[in-house]
Every structure is written in structure tokens, then in C-alpha cells.
Structure 1
Amino acid sequence: MRIGTRQIGADESSGALAPVYIIAELGVNHDGSVERALEMTDAAAEAGADAIKLQLFRAELLMSRASRLATYQAAAGERDPVAMLRRLELSIGDMGRIVDRSHARGMHAIVTPFSVELVEAAERVGFDAFKTASPDIIHKPLLDRLVRTGKPLIVSTGAATMDEVERAAGWLGPARERTAFLQCVSSYPTRDADASIGAMAAIARVWRGPVGYSDHTTGVDTGAVAAVRGAAILEKHFTWSKRAAGPDHAASLEPAEFRAYATLARDESVMKAWMGSVPLPPDPRIGPEEKRVLPCEMDVRRLSRQSLVAARDLPAGHALRPEDLTIKRPGTGLEPFHLEEVIGRRLRRAVEADMPLEGSALEGVAA
């Protein structure tokens, strides 16, 4: 896999191993300010990042009337999910400025679009790669659309079961040469005991492309531990201040911490350990080599996944058409990969506009 000219992981022809690729996840830590995002981009370059990553969303496309805040968001002082997202949105023009700045600083720019409708706009901006958020590992329409861009794709797996990872790997098989999977724990911040770095090995058994680690722990050396265990990519939230108000600042690293994080992850001894020439000490962050959903992830799994949602008021007895449905949070309705199979099915009861479509609302046979 390559992002631009940069090799990710081992070269398939020569077997040569590239240095770990480190992403500074700006996420929403710019607080909705493009000027702050530009300053953070400069700081990420100086801290040793290979790429910055942004999130592209629109509150009305992502949040249904049933959406709720995750516990960690409420703990950070947020009160309303739609108001929170609107405050944190960046325009497409803003993103273009950030992409240009990242390229001028010698970094790639990666974006996570949360809705199919936003992918085309992201393509026009000139991002070097796409990444999906962990909750969207079940969002087949979004994954399919991202594959069609022809760009490199990174898929996070937080709060996912091994079966869900395998299913997504099956969908993405045709794009294997430009796709990577990241082990992730969807808990903010993640305790060391829950870091589950060893789960990368389970993912690697079903995905022949690069595997990495999206790190939500608070330590500056967790990336080095993951690199020793074979992470080709590291992703870490980046902030201008951990004390700032907002949902993700507290689980992020400030510039000096990020610089230490990148330095440790790229240390020559890490590469030697990965190649097996030095022993690996035990570490509670590694855990078993299995992929499973942890109790600390259940809140995010339920609230941040997306499901099929009624695009308008739908009466009982109505046969579903593509234009009747959209895909939004929360994940309490039918999963997005069911979209094609529910078309033509009749409703046994009415479904209100902007509310999730549950399986119990469908009659048993297609119209």
C-alpha cells in the first residue's frame, strides 16, 4: 500500500519494511476554527507527523432525532449532539486550505467523511487518502463509495467484533492493495489494561494488507509498543491544549508529547524488536491476540454507529423505496448493510421521519 509515494508496511516485492506511518488526528480539536486548524497543522509537522487527519460531517446528515451524546462527550460538557457538531464543522473551502498547508509542510492530508453525500466534495479538495471512523465498519454504502474513489483507504475497527472485521474485509477485498485496517478501542481515553494491541494479530489473520493501531491511550510510548508488535500505521489524537473545552481534547497529545510519541515509535530499537532481534518485555497494553468488543466500548457502539433512518414519514403498509431511507446515527435501527435487502419490503407499522428503521417494523416478505 502507498499513500502518495510513501510505502506503508512491507513492500510486497522486496519485503523491505517501511518506517511506521504516523497520523496526527486533528479531528474536531480545532473547535471549528480554520485558523486554529492551520496552526495545528504546522505544529503537527514540527512534531514529526507524516499526515494530518480531518473529519468531514454535517450535523443534519449524521444525526437523527434519536441521536444522543456518548458518555465521554457529556462528561466533556456537551449538552446537545446536533449543536455540538454544528459548532465543530469546517467548510469545504476551509478543508482545502488545510490540505494545501499540510502539503506545503511535507505531510499528507487524510479525511474521514461520515456520510456518503460528502465523499464527492472531499474528492474535489484533493485529500491523499480516506479513513473511516470505527462506527462505520458496518456502513457498506460508505465503504463502497470510498472504494470507488480509487484513493488509499484506512479502516478503523473500534467496538467491532471479529465477525464484523471479517465481513468488512470481504467487502474491501478488491481494494486490498490500497487498504489498511487499524485495531482501535473506542473508549476516550482508553485505559492501558484495555489497549488491546494484541488484537492487531487477529486482524492480520484475515487481512493480508497493512495493519496498524489507532491509539486512544494517554501514554507517549503506546505507539512504540504497537510498532514493536507490527503496526504499520499509528493514529493519535492531536490537540493544542488538553485542558481546552471540547469532546476530544482530554484524550489527545499536545505538540511536545506528540513529538516524543513519534520519536519513540520510530526508534531503531523498535524496528529491531519488530524484526525479532531483541526480546519483547511483557506489557499490559498488549493483551490477548483476539479481537473483541470491550465493555468500555458499548456506549460508543450503540450511539455512534449509524443505521437506516426514515427520510420522511412512512405509513404502515408502504413498500420501501431507496428515496425513503437515509443513514444516520444512532445504531439502534437496522444496520446500513441491510439497505438493499429492505427495498421493496412493506412496513407493518408507520415510521416517523428522521427516526431509525427497526427490523420489527418490516413485514416478513418483500412486496
Structure 2
Amino acid sequence: MPITFAPISVDHSPQVCVIAEIGVNHDGDVQKALSLTRIAKQAGADAVKLQFFDPDLLLSEQAVLANYQKDQGATDVKQMLRQLQLELTAILAVRDLAWELDIGFIVTPFSLEHVPAVADFEVDAIKIASPDVVNLPLLEACCALGKPMLVSTGTADLAEIHPAADLLGHSCEQACLLHCVSSYPTPMEDANLGAIGMMAQTFDLPIGYSDHTQNLHTGALAVAAGACVIEKHITHDVNAPGPDHAASMAPELFVRYVQQIRDAQVMLGKRNKSVSDVEREVRRISRQSVCAARDLKADVPLTREDLTLRRPGTGIPAAQLEDVVGRILATDIAKGNLIYPGDLER
């Protein structure tokens, strides 16, 4: 399924791309991964995403656990990742189901050695995780595959993002930077959704948001801030053991989360200010026009005291009240009646 993430525009706004991040919330079980893919489709997501890694290729002997991983009960980083690893056949099974369901399939590779396999997957897009926004060799290798690219920017400042943005801009036909806060889960006060607009002004690329908050409304708020892609982890159980479940969304909430994103984009409209079709009748009957304040005779110059303003707005506009002073009526006008341009002598 083709994946697009053009920025929201004034004239036409393509649908915000919602990515259901399965990540490692399958716990190494392909059946869970397939179930989450179906849940993503039912919720209205546009794509699912998996992480593709081999602990032996990713970790050196000095690799350690992050604090949030320790908080989830992990004691050995390599053992933890082995338990969360999917075999190639399982990844392909998820891809095939996603395509059968007519949603996109995205993979995050973590190692240069895995880039050729990603090419063989025929993925719809490639996502680079936040730690690798500064990993230019991995970025270059993935860009060379000619697929749409998404790059998360958690843990990075603007100076660190610039080289990746320049590479994406020159090497990829479709690319998107994702504002992200690498905190699992992210407290509301740290979400910093204002960075979305700032990044859009800084980089000549579409900007999305990778959401690690536990708030139902964050995705919609990110769309209001200008995000054209929303990525959100999904899980069967937010209380399950594992590094990402706590920063994820359960199926019943994810349905509402996606709907709020869709509603937000509809409510944003075209980001211009014009009179909508539903307002035209209200404007006609509720604006005010120049009106006779008393019985008025023809052939007598009008004074300010002769005039007042009344609804509807079908006569001489209220803004032109002073222009009517001194004019002469061509016909008598009874008190309380609007004065129309044709009632005035030329």
C-alpha cells in the first residue's frame, strides 16, 4: 500500500498518516503480532510497523539497559532483546497480512547488516529510530533503497538533526521527520508539541510526531500543531511486562485515538479564513442594514437622526451608514423599513 505523508496544506490536506507501532509489543510471538495488525486495521490506522534487529549485531559487550527497561524488570539487555526478536518468516507473515488488509507495512532496521534484508521485505516505508538520527551510515544505506523514509528525532537537538534532514532532502523522494521525546511513557509536560511547528519552519520536510504519552488526546493535538504523521505504540495489555507496553495504547482506546486524529483534521479545515457555505444564510439574516428611524419623505436630504441599523443584512450595509447621510430618497420610506440602494436618488 503506498504511504504518503505530505504536509498539511491550505488548498488540500491529504489524510494524516496514522502508524500503529507494534514495535516489540508482540513479545516475540508472531500470533500476537498478527493480532495487533488486525487491531490496527480495525482502528483505522494506515500502517503497522515492526522493529527488525538481531541483538548480536546491535549490541557490543558494553551495552547496558535503559532505566525504563530496568523499571520493567529487565536484567540483561541482550537476553531482553532476544525474547523480543521476530524471525524473518514472522516479519513476512505480518507484512503479508498488512497487505491483505490494505494497510501499509513499515520496518525499523537497527543494523547496517540488515538493510539488504529490508530491501527483500519490499516494505512500504522505512522508519529510523531516534537513536539513529545521527547514524548517517545507516541513513544513507536506507535512503539508497528508494523507499519513503521516516526518521524520529528523540534525544537529538536541532544541530544533530540538520545532517539527517539534509541527507533526506537530497536523497529521498519522500521523507518525514518525527518530533519525538524518548521517554517511555512521556509525561504530558514533556511532550513539547510546540516543537512540531518549529521543526516545520526549520526543515524543508514534512513533520510528524511519534507519541509516547499515555494521553488519549495527544495525537489530535499534534495534528492541530501541524503533524502530518502520527505514530503510536499499540498493545494488548498496557500492564504486560516488557519495555514498551506502558507507553502504548490498548485496542479500545486506540480506536478512539485514531478517530480523534481524523476529527481533528476535519475540524482544522483548510487553514484559511473564508465564509463557509453553512454561514451564508446566517450572514444574510443576522447582519444589519441601514433602516428608517422614522417615517421618511422623498426629496428631503437624510440626516443621521433619520437613520438607524436593523437586521437583516440584505440592504445597504451598516458600514455604509455615513455614506447615506445627505442623500435624497426617491420614494417615501415608513419607519422600521430597510433602505435599499434603489430607494436613493442617483
Which category describes the TM-score, using the shorter chain as reference length?
A: 0.7 to 0.9
Partner residue of 2:6 out of 6, 9, 20: 9
The answer (yes or no) to whether the contact 2:53–2:85 under 8 Å persists in 1 is yes
In structure 1, give the amino acid aligned to 2:88.
I
- 3-state DSSP of counterpart to 1:24: strand
In structure 2, give the amino acid aligned to 1:248.
D
Mapped pair 1:117 → 2:105: no
- 3-state DSSP of counterpart to 1:111: strand
- 3-state DSSP of counterpart to 1:218: coil
- Mapped to 1, the partners of 2:265 and 2:23 lie a distance apart of 31
Match of 1:30 in 2: 26
The answer (yes or no) to whether the contact 1:153–1:180 under 8 Å persists in 2 is yes
Match of 1:21 in 2: 17
Mapped pair 1:43 → 2:9: no
Partner residue of 1:146 out of 142, 145, 148: 142
- Mapped to 2, the partners of 1:176 and 1:150 lie a distance apart of 7
Partner residue of 2:186 out of 182, 186, 190: 190
Match of 2:214 in 1: 218
In structure 1, give the amino acid aligned to 2:6.
G
* CA gap 1:11/1:234 in 2 versus in 1, 3 angstroms: closer
- 3-state DSSP of counterpart to 1:99: helix
Q: Provide, for residues 193-235 of structure 1, a one-character-per-residue CA deviation record: whole Å limited to 9, x for no partner.
A: 0001111122212322211100000011100000011110000
Higher relative CO (Cα under 8 Å, sequence separation at least 6) belongs to 1
The answer (yes or no) to whether the contact 2:169–2:205 under 8 Å persists in 1 is no
- Mapped to 2, the partners of 1:268 and 1:23 lie a distance apart of 16
Mapped pair 1:88 → 2:75: no
Mapped pair 1:181 → 2:177: yes
- Mapped to 1, the partners of 2:237 and 2:256 lie a distance apart of 16
- Mapped to 1, the partners of 2:58 and 2:270 lie a distance apart of 40
Compute the TM-score of the two structures, normalised by the length of structure 2: 0.76
- Within-5 A mapping of 1:38-77: 38-77=34-73
- Mapped to 2, the partners of 1:5 and 1:100 lie a distance apart of 15
- Mapped to 2, the partners of 1:175 and 1:112 lie a distance apart of 18
- Mapped to 1, the partners of 2:8 and 2:246 lie a distance apart of 36
- Within-5 A mapping of 1:250-265: 250-265=246-261
The answer (yes or no) to whether the contact 2:8–2:228 under 8 Å persists in 1 is no
In structure 1, give the amino acid aligned to 2:188.
D
The answer (yes or no) to whether the contact 1:8–1:210 under 8 Å persists in 2 is yes
- Mapped to 1, the partners of 2:213 and 2:180 lie a distance apart of 10
- 3-state DSSP of counterpart to 1:235: strand
Q: 1:175: how far off?
A: 2.8
The answer (yes or no) to whether the contact 2:153–2:177 under 8 Å persists in 1 is yes
- Mapped to 2, the partners of 1:252 and 1:269 lie a distance apart of 22
Q: Provide, for residues 72-110 of structure 1, a one-character-per-residue CA deviation record: whole Å limited to 9, x for no partner.
A: 000000000000011111111111110000111111000
Task: Give the gaps of 5 or more residues in structure 1.
Answer: 279-367
Structure with max Cα Rg: 2
In structure 1, give the amino acid aligned to 2:20.
A
Q: 1:19: how far off?
A: 1.5
Percent identical among aligned pairs is 43
Q: 1:5: how far off?
A: 3.7
- Mapped to 1, the partners of 2:193 and 2:271 lie a distance apart of 17
Q: Provide, for residues 167-213 of structure 1, a one-character-per-residue CA deviation record: whole Å limited to 9, x for no partner.
A: 21122221353110000000010011000111112221232221110
Task: Give the gaps of 5 or more residues in structure 2.
Answer: 275-346
Partner residue of 1:241 out of 222, 233, 237: 237
Compute the TM-score of the two structures, normalised by the length of structure 1: 0.72
The answer (yes or no) to whether the contact 1:21–1:232 under 8 Å persists in 2 is yes
Q: Provide, for residues 260-316 of structure 1, a one-character-per-residue CA deviation record: whole Å limited to 9, x for no partner.
A: 1000011056542672669xxxxxxxxxxxxxxxxxxxxxxxxxxxxxxxxxxxxxx
The answer (yes or no) to whether the contact 1:153–1:179 under 8 Å persists in 2 is yes
Runs of 4+ in 1 over 6 A off after TM superposition: none
- Mapped to 2, the partners of 1:15 and 1:120 lie a distance apart of 39
Query: Matched residue pairs, number?
Result: 274
Cα root mean square deviation, aligned: 1.8
